[in-house]
Amino acid sequence: MALQIGDVVPDFTADSTEGPISFHEWLGDKWGVLFSHPKDFTPVCTTELGEVARLKPEFEKRNVKVIGLSVDPADSHKRWAEDIKETQGHALNFPVIADADRKVSNLYGMIHPNASETFTVRSVFVIGPDKKSEADTHLPCQHRAKFCGDIESHRFVTADRRFQRRYPGELEAWRGCNHCPGCLRRGCKEKVSGRV
């Protein structure tokens, strides 16, 4: 059965550009973005990985770890990393999973039988700190993946849920503060007083 929103995502151990990774352990208590690419050295994939490397500080500000996946082996990924640095101006600074046996791709349903029997489609999974799937997107191989926008939305909803559990009935009152934009999430000293 396909992975559904709200399911705990499958754990796995796989080789990567940063050595063996046990996925749940690697993720820890952070948010995660797991995204796949059809093949190493393709132009669109190269630009996307370069852009994710450039944006990594923005992910880190949001307590998010990013990890890529391609069906090529780790030695190919390492050569590709050199190409990404040379052509995109940003060194690969996050792991890329080597999935030559397609174990992870099949586990997460990344290979669509109508698209290819061998290459992953462009899949993006947003994973919460509880290891549950918060969102997923699947695009044909030839499309460019866009996934950064979902993360803030899911983090904010989670903050709202946590606040509502701790302070029942108060969420709308706190949201009504016009002192600063997004005070509930940014910790407005006058209204939230460090509660969230």
pLDDT tens for each residue of 54-77:
999 999 998 999 999 988 899 999
What pLDDT shows up at residue 91? 93
Across all residues in the chain, what is the average pLDDT?
75
Residue 53 has a pLDDT of 94
Query: Which pLDDT belongs to residue 164?
Result: 47
* Residues annotated as part of the active site: 45
Residue 36 lies in a domain: yes
Please indicate, yes or no, whether residues 115 and 77 belong to a single structural domain of this protein: yes
Q: How many domains does the chain have?
A: 2
Same domain, 109 and 54: yes
Burial class of residue 23 (count of CB atoms within 10 Å of its CB; 0-12, 13-18, 19+): buried
Q: Verify that 65 and 135 share a domain, yes or no.
A: yes
**193's tokens:** 């007083």
Please list, residue by residue across 84-121, b when 16 or more beta carbons sit within 10 angstroms of its beta carbon and e when fewer do.
beeebebebebbbbbbeeeebbebbbbbeeebeeebbb
User: Looking at per-residue confidence, does 179 or 83 come out higher?
Assistant: 83
Confidence at 39, pLDDT banded by 50, 70, 90? confident
How far is it, in rounded angstroms, from Cα 34 to Cα 104? 11
Predicted pLDDT at 2: 73
Is pLDDT of 193 > 90? no
Tell me which of 40 and 161 has the higher pLDDT.
Answer: 40
* Residues of the domain holding 50: 13-146
The 3-state DSSP class for residue 103 equals helix
- Domain for residue 51, yes or no? yes
- The answer as to whether 134 is a domain residue is yes
Which uninterrupted H or E stretch holds 114?
none
Domain check: are 62 and 135 in the same one? yes
Q: For residue 178, is it within any domain?
A: yes
Examine the domain organization and report whether 110 and 24 are in the same domain: yes
- Report the predicted TM-score, pTM, of the whole model to 2 decimal places: 0.70
Task: Write the pLDDT tens digit of every residue in 134-186.
Answer: 988 766 544 444 444 444 444 444 444 444 444 444 444 444 444 444 444 44
pLDDT in the model for residue 109: 84
